[in-house]
Amino acid sequence: MRPHSEERVRALEQEWRERLGRVRAKSAADLLLRALPGAPVITVTGAASLIGRSFVQTNQAVDRLVAAGILKQTTVGRRNLAFEAPEVIQAFTDLERRLASPAGDTRVAAPVRAVPRRR
């Protein structure tokens, strides 16, 4: 049985912290790790506003999270860079798929409503 979504998000955050190594409390990286489950797609400007840190501090934290494989760079529109936390998005996709099936698994029982396609 898979863990509940809250437990999975907590486990993801712990795994991210292990990947990053030392993360100073209340640093931009620390605050961003805590914010990602609620905002899995960010821009640096939006993230800076979300965590209350400067653009420069947030940009450095984003770079660190990209290097650790926690965030993945993507584009929004023609020139705007955004970053996504694919593991958070996948966790919510999995939750949606579980909730869509009477058996709790769309591989065992067909969904009773539309669900995201498997990648």
Please provide the DSSP assignment of 9-27 as one string. HHHHHHHHHHHH----TTS
Mean pLDDT of 50-58: 98
Mean pLDDT of 68-84: 88
- By C-alpha distance, which of 60, 59, 81, 63 is closest to 71? 63
pLDDT score at 1: 39
Q: Give me the CATH code for the 5-100 domain, please.
A: 1.10.10.10
- Say if strands 72-76 and 80-84 run parallel, antiparallel, or are unpaired: antiparallel
Domain layout of the chain by residue ranges: 5-100
In the predicted structure, residue 32 carries a pLDDT above the cut 60: yes
